[in-house]
Amino acid sequence: MKQSKVLLGAIIALLPLVFVSCSGATQATGGWSGPIVEDGIIYAGTRDGRVVAVNVSSRELEWEWPDSTGLRSVIYSTPIVHDDLVYVGTYGGQVYAVTLNRGAERWVYPRTGAIGAIVGRPVVVNETIYVTSSDGRVYALDVAYGDLKWRSEPLADKLWTSPAVKDDTLFVSTLDGHIYGLSLETGELLGWSFEAGAGFASTPVVYEDRIYVGSFDRYLYAIEIGSNESRWRFPEENAAGNWFWASPIVNGSTVYAGCLDGRLYAIGAETGEEIWEFDAEDSIVASPVLMDNLLVVADESGTVYVFDVSTEFGDEAVPLKTVSIGASVRAPFYARDGLVYIRGEDDSIYVVDIDKGEMVEGWPVSLAVEE
């Protein structure tokens, strides 16, 4: 427990510097808010506190909310779309619902004041939006009106990862090394929780009856729901070269995990044994994305790698295609219909055609406010 508390203190001290460094004078203004695409429109949050809607076909700005004269708090959280609304959490501690057609504010929670800073992406289940907050609580809000359904008791000093949902349970990982299960209906803590010796860096991924999550001790863990011991940790012996910051993805019997040490690992979901790895030579901050048999990975330098995971690799994987967008990538990216939508740290949206292995003509499109 002492190790966990010491590590937590270091993380709390370090992470604000990570966020601040993204907007420092020596770096381009970008953000950790990724894009999402719905009905031919890209929605993204910006570091100057706007939600923007960009038409994929015309590359024109459909709307921005609020307008450039009414900027609000920094947005680190990736927006989500549900029915006719786009939802976003802000670092100022508000959750907003904005209409898809006009970019008009539908509601805000709380109506006045703020909760703790919101960093993790909200999730929507059964007409309820669930949000983690830096006040250590989870909030459940009605999607239509933003009314509070419940808020949890404080689970940690801060909650900076997104919640994960399986059946009627919401799972949350914490910076002090806990995983909690909460009732979706009431927010009450369930009988099981997991405690590790170090804080968790990534949002938990729930697959079947197991949770996969990265830790600040430089291991990736597989945890059986209901167990007090991890099923395995990866690597088995010596820790990886850096944190598993990005959430892994699970595809059947294989877990794909990007690491800040610049390596992509393919791991046996049952055994925790390495199947293959790939050295991207730069930090992998964003989670990989799978499209059918194609695994898409972007490193921090802006290089996009595509792997055919149906291929039998040896110890070292070989990418099928490699594309450089020429901008740093830290935000989650989005893939659909053979296209990958990437938010660069230069505050622009890039679109990569996976089949052609090149950027789509006419992109990138800048999200910056015109002077």
Residue-wise pLDDT tens digits, 74-113: 999 999 999 999 999 999 999 999 999 999 999 999 999 9
Average pLDDT taken over every residue of the chain: 90
| pLDDT tens figures, 183-218 | 999 999 999 999 998 999 899 999 999 999 999 999
- 19-55: string of b/e by CB count within 10 Å (b at 16+)? beebeeeeeebbbbbbbbbbeebbbbbbbbbbbbbbe
> 32 falls in which pLDDT band (50, 70, 90)?
confident
Give the tokens for residue 257. 């995990």
pLDDT of residue 26 exceeding 50, the answer is no
Number of alpha helices (DSSP H) and beta strands (DSSP E) in the chain: 1, 33
In Å, what is the CA distance from 89 to each residue of 26, 127, 227? 27, 17, 33
> 299 falls in which pLDDT band (50, 70, 90)?
very high
- State the average pLDDT over residues 362-371: 87
| pLDDT tens figures, 214-235 | 999 999 999 999 999 999 999 9
Share of the chain above pLDDT 90, in %: 86
Check residue 288 and give its pLDDT.
97
Collapse the DSSP code of 297 into the 3-class scheme (helix H, G, I; strand E, B; otherwise coil) and give the result. Answer: strand
pLDDT of residue 270 exceeding 80, the answer is yes
pLDDT of residue 73 exceeding 90, the answer is no
Collapse the DSSP code of 224 into the 3-class scheme (helix H, G, I; strand E, B; otherwise coil) and give the result. Answer: strand
Check residue 24 and give its pLDDT.
33
Q: Between 53 and 27, where is the model more confident?
A: 53
User: Quick count: other Cβ atoms within 10 Å of Cβ 150?
Assistant: 18
What structural domains does the chain harbor?
Answer: 2-366 (2.130.10.10)
> 67 falls in which pLDDT band (50, 70, 90)?
confident
**Calpha distance 31→22 (Å, rounded):** 7
**Calpha distance 124→129 (Å, rounded):** 4
Check residue 25 and give its pLDDT.
30
User: Quick count: other Cβ atoms within 10 Å of Cβ 112?
Assistant: 6
